[in-house]
Copies of this chain bind each other. A is one copy, B any other.
Amino acid sequence: MARISESTVRRLSHYYRVLEEVEDEGKRLISSHRLAEREGVTSAQVRKDLSCFGSFGRRGLGYNVAHLRREIRAILGLDRRWRVAVVGVGNLGTALMLYRGFQRQGFDVVAAFDRDPARIGQRLGDLVVRDIAELPAAARGGIDMGVIATPVRAAQEVADALVAAGVRGILNLAPRKLFVPSHVALRNVDMTVEFETLSFALNHLTPPARRRRPRA
């Protein structure tokens, strides 16, 4: 199997969601074209993406919804449960912990950590926030992924601690580049960057009326 591009994996995740919907609608078959239009990509893209993993369709017919869904489910590793630890239970970390959607997809938040004594011991959902110092001990229960929702200054340190604790995937929400060993998967979600790319777009894409600032 050739190397899979990140964009392909992201789209797989989208296809999977569409397939869930379509299955609920009771459809048995779906063409690459229909699968594509719901996510705003081309049908060729869908077929290319899927062809990285096998031949799941039938020419002239399309794809069996239930079957394709199961295949993608297995490809994405959603046919098992993942144990997730959240580090940093400020607004964002807490929001993530309380969001039930992830659990539905196979992600269980099994531990929450913070450094702030005011937060340690606090109950969130059905977990108690623990001291970050307890991470190594807690990790012996087996933690697959860590979510970093701490302030920027603590982020790298927490990443190191997670790696040391044997975590193999990290979702970083802190606005800072993190360095981790190559055997650890790292994904960054940086709201600041998102806001700033929007601000760039609004600043440059010609507004309906007069242009905003003619670049002094």
Q: How many A residues are at the interface, by size bracket?
A: 35 or more
Q: Are A144 and B191 in contact (CB under 8 A)?
A: no
Contact with B along A1-18 (1 / 0, CB 8 A): 000101001101110110
Bound CA span A28–B164, Å: 37
- Write the nearest CB–CB distance from A27 to chain B, whole angstroms: 18
* Residue A197 at the chain B interface, CB threshold 8 Å: yes
**Copies of the chain in the assembly:** 2
* Residue A203 at the chain B interface, CB threshold 8 Å: yes
**Interface pick from A56-64, A94-102, A114-122, A132-140:** A94-102
Jot down 11 A-B pairs with beta carbons below 8 A, ordered by A.
A13-B197, A14-B177, A17-B176, A74-B215, A76-B196, A76-B200, A78-B199, A82-B199, A101-B192, A107-B195, A185-B202
